[in-house]
């Protein structure tokens, strides 16, 4: 346990199914903020996780920092490099999650590239992640079906493998990805890397609804480029979940933990107030 963390009796994280069922009952989409673990440092990461949960996050995506984050734009790359410079590791990420679980049951998806998991040990990582309190894992560089043996070794220990779908994914491939996924699907709102954007693509809502028609009821969350409460509300009108990453880290750089809490609260308020009545 990192210095300054207080160990306690861990809570059991809620399942993704429970989370999305609760959101459906409330007639809203799930809010899923992203944080690079170890940014700005380990104790502040824990503070940010706690603040996001308290401000209304339904699910949290917790990134394991990696030295070559190819799917990430400059903001998340910068946060990852800073976290590594300050000593954050895969094991340290699980320690932060374990400390968060001492007081919160918010479901957590671990976001990673494959190399850190291979270095840790695949089955050792899966067991340790579940023990620390993770409900799911998103591996950006392991497409569904690319390595069935590896995927089975990870999911055998209880981790839901969250799958990515892109605007360029064919309808047949969408259905295959959905069959291989669990928890929810992550629809990438545009091609390219992560990063805040000033506007959403006009076709996004239509694309999300087309994906929903092919995936057999598994929830679809949308991320990449969602930057404002208004955009989150627009996406929430079409999708079951809204992922916000780079814009949140931008707020952390400028305003610290309080700014992050305020931004998450503003996202949640906009989604509750406007989401059901807006459309893309």
Question: Cα–Cα distance between 258 and 51 in angstroms, integer?
Answer: 8
- Among candidates 202, 176, 182, which has minimal Cα distance to 190? 202
CA 186 and chain centroid, separation: 9
pLDDT string in tens for the chain (280-residue length) = 455 454 455 666 789 999 999 999 999 999 999 999 999 999 999 999 999 999 999 999 999 999 987 767 788 999 999 999 999 999 999 999 999 999 999 999 999 999 999 999 999 999 999 999 999 999 999 999 999 999 999 999 999 999 999 999 999 999 999 999 999 999 998 654 444 445 676 788 899 999 999 999 999 999 988 999 999 999 999 999 999 999 999 999 999 999 999 999 999 999 986 444 455 6
E strand or H helix that includes residue 77? helix 74-85
CB 247 within 8 A of CB 196: yes
Q: Is 41 a catalytic residue?
A: no
Give CA separation, 10 vs 97, 103, 275, in Å: 10, 7, 34
Catalytic residue among 26, 41, 61, 262: 61
Q: Which of 58, 72, 240, 250 is catalytic?
A: 72
**Is 61 known to be catalytic?**
yes
CA 164 from centre of chain: 11
| 180 vs 151: CA distance, rounded Å | 9
Q: Which residues contact 6 (CB under 8 A, 6 or more apart)?
A: 99, 102
């Amino acid at each position: 346990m990192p210095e300054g963390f207080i160990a306690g009796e861990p809570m059991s994280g809620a399942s993704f199914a429970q989370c999305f069922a609760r959101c459906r009952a409330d007639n809203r989409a799930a809010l899923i903020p992203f944080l690079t673990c170890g940014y700005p440092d380990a104790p502040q990461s824990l503070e940010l996780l706690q603040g996001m949960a308290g401000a209304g996050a339904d699910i949290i995506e917790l990134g394991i920092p990696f030295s070559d984050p190819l799917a990430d734009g400059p903001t998340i790359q910068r946060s990852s490099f800073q976290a590594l410079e300050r000593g954050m590791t895969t094991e340290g990420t699980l320690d932060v999650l374990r400390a968060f679980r001492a007081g919160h049951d918010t479901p957590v998806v671990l976001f990673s590239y494959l190399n850190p998991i291979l270095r840790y040990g695949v089955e050792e990582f899966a067991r340790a992640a579940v023990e620390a309190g993770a409900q799911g894992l998103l591996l950006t560089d392991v497409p569904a079906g690319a390595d069935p043996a590896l995927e089975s070794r990870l999911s055998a220990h209880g981790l839901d493998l969250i799958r990515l779908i892109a605007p360029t994914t064919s309808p047949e491939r969408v259905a295959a990805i959905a069959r291989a996924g669990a928890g929810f699907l992550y629809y990438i709102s545009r091609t390219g890397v992560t990063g805040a954007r000033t506007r959403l693509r006009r076709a996004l809502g239509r694309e999300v609804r087309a994906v929903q028609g092919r995936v057999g009821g598994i929830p679809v969350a949308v991320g990449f480029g969602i930057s404002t409460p208004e955009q989150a509300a627009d996406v929430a009108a079409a999708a079951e979940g809204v992922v916000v990453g780079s814009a949140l880290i931008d707020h952390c750089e400028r305003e610290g933990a309080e700014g992050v809490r305020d931004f998450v609260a503003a996202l949640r308020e906009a989604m509750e107030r406007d989401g059901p009545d807006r459309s893309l």
